[in-house]
Amino acid sequence: MPSPQESAPGNSRKTGKWIQQALAHHRLGQLADAERLYQGVLDTEPDHGEALRLLGMLRSQQGEGAQAIALISRALQHNPRSVKAHSNLGNIYAAMNQHAEAVASFDRALALKPDDTIALNNRGNALYRLRRYSEALASYDHSLRVMPRQPGAWNNRGNTLVALNQVDAAIKSYDKAIAADPAFADAYCNRGAAFARLRRNAEALANFDKAISIKPRYADALAQRGGVLQKMNRHTDAIASYDQLLTIDADYPFVLGAALQSRKHIGAWGDYPVLRAKIIDGIRRRKLVAEPFNFLTVSGDPADQLICASMFAREKHPPVSPAKWRGRRYQHTKIRLAYLSADFHDHATAYLMAELLELHDRSAFEIVAISFGPDRADLLRKRVVAAVDRFVDVRAFTDEAAAQWITDNEVDIAVDIKGYTTDSRPGILAHRAAPVQVNFLGFPGTFGAPYIDYLIADEVVIPPHQQAHYAERVVYLPDSYQPNDSKRKSAAPTPARATAGLPEGAFVFCCFNNNFKISPDIFDVWMRLLLRVEGSVLWLLRANAAVEQNLRNEAAARGVDPARLIFAPRTAHADHMARHRLADLFLDTLLCNAHTTASDALWMGLPVVTRAGQSFASRVAASLLSAIGMPELITHTLEDYEALAFKLATTPALLRDVRQKLAENRLTTPLFDTQRFRRHIESAYRTMHKIHQAGESPRAFSVAREM
């Protein structure tokens, strides 16, 4: 709340003196003395406008909003032209999160004094809270025309431009705020966040560092600094930033999960068990300790994951009212189907989706791609653009504008294939853009949000008895929920082992999953396998120097020569596919399985050993192995996982038979039969559409198997 402003003396010298004394106490925070003096004035003059107004402000400071409103409303009955009283009332409504009422009060103040910069700025703040960003921007602009040197107004204007997705313009506003006040830490922090949105990470980091130099215990800047450092693959520095923040505010939202995630990226496991236990306990106590994506590799309990996702959705992406889609039933000759993603380029999701997009039945479906990711102009991007009927780039759109496009173009079914992964925009579907909204493929878990109607799965990733742990209605496809591209290619010839840094004649265990999926318990198993299988090596994906050193140290601590860990550099997709032929056996991770990496391995004839857990993310490889007819590679305990991997590694004839069966099954079983998958998922979409057109609520169902 603004400090109470001094006014002209009352109707008598005595009351005027009391008002002045009360104001002095009020400003010093001596509220009991101020209240006594205000009340003394009102005992003498019950309708004294200033005493009513100032006592109302005091009540607001005491958390008694209803009394505050009543007192200031009384003051306005006697002096309806009091600009201060209207503005104070607006501030009280805003403090009570009644932002529409706040705007109405500020409007009444501005009707009396149109150039009141304080009322204009506070009106802009209330409009921002109501997501009426264009009106908020106009309010700030009016204030700045009256008084250009207002660092707070420039900063708030920048925040509003970010909300309008006008990030370059926002940076210029933050520049103005900093020019007006070079020690304005908030403006540096917000400018850093804007640079981060533009992937200008070095500039973002410099701004966060400046904000922290001004305000060393600046929690928001430390949190965002950690996030940018993660994106820069500087996880050791990110950990330092997060840990510093946790000493300032141990309950800062989502930071505990982010701190553990950076540790997992570099294999820094010293406090892994403690942090993991804290995060799981925090989720169960309904605390905002981790984002859903980070939590996938913390807990394998789908009940915990539902709690995590639901809290995240409520906090970050709540339903927006009013909804864009208002109940109309479109009458189209074809079902209009829109896929939403940031990954329509050289990305794992696009590799899985490309052929499905090409094969969709155009006599029954009109296919739209809603893209909010980078345009890298690579071959996969061109393939996706050519595959769909309409490709719409909404990077410059706000979430609301993107949702409005979907509604205006009468999309029947909107399918989010990002979930809570990097660069996702759940806020688009939070506006209820389409009558049917679906969670598919990108995120192996629940949105936890009421505006997502369906989740496309199979009976392996979500056993029927676990449906209660998913906020959506589960739609079961007959084989696997994962589409694949039967046109995928690999470079030839296969590279020599020496070229890949692999020893000739060694048994090569392989895991090309992201390093953050590796946990100490699965690493223990892998090291025991290296010790038991003479001359074997473990081939992992290279991510950063820190993880290589840390994992080698962990190997040495378990009695394994660190040189037996070999790291594969990232390379072109076709070359990466070809080098799978150099490995003998793919070892899966636990809480979050291989997804695209598993289908890559299976396509290249490399057997995958997995352990099926309880959550969607921990059962994906089991789904793929079931669909390719290799259930014998699925285990259900760590002991069985280790035993199977050891048996395959030490029984050449058995491994040869498994590889032969895999080669035979690749093109004769459902996993890589994209036409079969297309028929099944289109059947699912038709059923969703039929349920909606009948006026029925979404419900779980299973798609009948087609041969």
pLDDT for 13 = 62
Q: Is residue 399 part of a domain?
A: yes
pLDDT for 9 = 34
Query: Which is nearest to 72 in space by CA: 91, 60, 89, 47?
Result: 89
Question: How does residue 8 score in pLDDT terms, banded at 50, 70 and 90?
Answer: very low
Mean per-residue pLDDT over the chain, rounded: 95
Task: Please give the Cα distance from 42 to 19 (Å, whole number).
Answer: 10
Higher pLDDT, 48 or 444: 444
Kindly state the average pLDDT of the residues 651-663. Answer: 98
Report whether pLDDT(10) > 50.
no
Question: How does residue 29 score in pLDDT terms, banded at 50, 70 and 90?
Answer: confident
Q: Which domain holds residue 295?
A: 264-316
Report whether pLDDT(7) > 50.
no
Whether 205 contacts 232, CB under 8 Å: yes
- CA angle in degrees (0–180, nearest 5) for 661-663-669: 80
- Identify whether residues 514 and 663 lie together within a single domain: yes
Place of tokens 């040189």: 563
pLDDT for 11 = 47
Question: How does residue 57 score in pLDDT terms, banded at 50, 70 and 90?
Answer: confident
- Identify whether residues 274 and 363 lie together within a single domain: no
Integer CA distances (angstroms), 148 to 123, 163, 178, 600, in order: 17, 22, 13, 58
- Identify whether residues 623 and 513 lie together within a single domain: yes
Q: What are the φ and ψ backbone dihedral angles of 687, each rounded to 5 degrees? A: -65, -40
Burial of residue 242 (CB within 10 Å: 0-12, 13-18, 19+) is buried
Task: Please give the Cα distance from 13 to 24 (Å, whole number).
Answer: 17
In this structure, the number of other CB atoms found within 10 A of the CB of residue 287 comes to 15
- Identify whether residues 364 and 513 lie together within a single domain: no
Read off the tokens for 405.
């496009």
Task: Please give the Cα distance from 255 to 247 (Å, whole number).
Answer: 11
Alpha helices in 150-291 (DSSP H): 151-163, 167-180, 185-197, 201-214, 219-231, 235-248, 255-265, 272-284
Q: Is residue 402 part of a domain?
A: yes
457-513 pLDDT per residue, tens: 999 999 999 999 999 999 999 999 999 999 887 777 899 999 999 999 999 999 999
58-106 pLDDT per residue, tens: 888 888 889 989 999 999 998 899 999 999 999 999 999 999 999 999 9
Q: Which region among 4-13, 254-263, 288-297, 326-335 has the lowest average model confidence (pLDDT)?
A: 4-13
Question: How does residue 6 score in pLDDT terms, banded at 50, 70 and 90?
Answer: very low
Q: Is residue 522 part of a domain?
A: yes
- Identify whether residues 564 and 666 lie together within a single domain: yes
Burial of residue 58 (CB within 10 Å: 0-12, 13-18, 19+) is buried
CATH number for the domain spanning 548: value is 3.40.50.2000
Whether 121 contacts 2, CB under 8 Å: no
- Identify whether residues 361 and 451 lie together within a single domain: yes
382-413 pLDDT per residue, tens: 999 999 999 999 999 999 999 999 999 999 99
- Identify whether residues 579 and 666 lie together within a single domain: yes
Whether 452 contacts 429, CB under 8 Å: yes
Integer CA distances (angstroms), 344 to 347, 354, 446, 682, in order: 7, 9, 22, 21
Q: Is residue 485 part of a domain?
A: no
pLDDT for 222 = 98
Kindly state the average pLDDT of the residues 28-47. Answer: 83
- CA angle in degrees (0–180, nearest 5) for 458-464-465: 145
Task: Please give the Cα distance from 620 to 418 (Å, whole number).
Answer: 16
553-559-561-566 Cα dihedral, nearest 10 degrees: -60
322 preceded by cis ω (within 30°)? yes
Task: Please give the Cα distance from 155 to 207 (Å, whole number).
Answer: 14
pLDDT for 44 = 81
Report whether pLDDT(52) > 90.
no
Amino acid identity of residue 687, one-letter, is T
- Identify whether residues 594 and 645 lie together within a single domain: yes
Q: How many CA atoms lie within 13 A of 693 on its CB side?
A: 12
- Identify whether residues 538 and 448 lie together within a single domain: no
558-599 pLDDT per residue, tens: 999 999 999 999 998 899 999 999 999 999 999 999 999 999
- Identify whether residues 373 and 297 lie together within a single domain: no
- Identify whether residues 293 and 341 lie together within a single domain: no
State the total domains in the chain: 3
Report whether pLDDT(292) > 70.
yes
101-121 pLDDT per residue, tens: 999 999 999 999 999 999 999
Paired residues of 567 in beta bridges:
540
pLDDT for 568 = 97
Element of type H or E holding 126: helix 117-129
Q: Is residue 646 part of a domain?
A: yes
Q: Is residue 398 part of a domain?
A: yes
CATH number for the domain spanning 417: value is 3.40.50.11380
- Identify whether residues 302 and 353 lie together within a single domain: no
Q: Is residue 436 part of a domain?
A: yes
Whether 235 contacts 546, CB under 8 Å: yes
pLDDT for 4 = 36
Place of tokens 């981060």: 196
Task: Please give the Cα distance from 19 to 310 (Å, whole number).
Answer: 50
168-220 pLDDT per residue, tens: 999 999 999 999 999 999 999 999 999 999 999 999 999 999 999 999 999 99
Q: How many CA atoms lie within 13 A of 60 on its CB side?
A: 25
Query: Which is nearest to 130 in space by CA: 95, 153, 99, 93?
Result: 99
Q: Is residue 156 part of a domain?
A: no
